[in-house]
């Protein structure tokens, strides 16, 4: 339990150090960070990998190509499971300097 508290305190400290104060002021930098956040979100990757896999299997593309799409889908599912387990294991509060600017929350 002591290790988890240490990790949470370290996380808060490093988050505060890495915070770019200009990012909170400049809308251009903030928008760039939001684009990075949206591009790394799991739902679009899951949709693309899922439909891509179904498409290449349905259209009977070469097996090598189907295999690549299946591996991508498996990797996305494995990544989502790992991130979910980590988020459940290491829950933390949002930092006080965090802006609530999420467009869509599930």
Q: Domain ranges in the chain?
A: 1-40, 42-91
Cα-based angle 77, 81, 86 (whole degrees, multiple of 5): 150
Q: What is the pLDDT along the chain (106 residues), one digit of tens a residue?
A: 678 888 888 887 777 776 666 566 677 777 887 788 888 888 899 999 999 999 999 999 999 999 999 999 999 999 999 999 998 987 777 766 666 666 655 5
At a CB cut-off of 8 Å and minimum separation 6, what does 90 contact? Answer: 4, 7, 8, 11
Neighbours of 73 (CB within 10 A): 19
pTM of this structure: 0.67
Q: Cα(35)–Cα(44) distance, rounded to whole angstroms? A: 13
């Amino acid at each position: 339990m002591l290790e988890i508290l240490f990790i949470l305190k370290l996380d808060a400290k490093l988050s505060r150090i890495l915070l770019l104060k200009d990012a909170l002021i400049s809308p251009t930098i903030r928008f760039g960070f939001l684009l990075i956040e949206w591009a790394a979100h799991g739902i679009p990757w899951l949709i693309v990998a899922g439909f891509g896999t179904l498409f290449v299997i349905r259209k009977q593309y070469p097996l090598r190509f189907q295999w690549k799409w299946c591996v991508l889908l498996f990797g996305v599912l494995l990544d989502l499971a790992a991130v979910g387990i980590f988020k459940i294991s290491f829950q933390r509060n949002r930092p006080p300097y965090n802006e609530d600017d999420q467009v869509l929350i599930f």
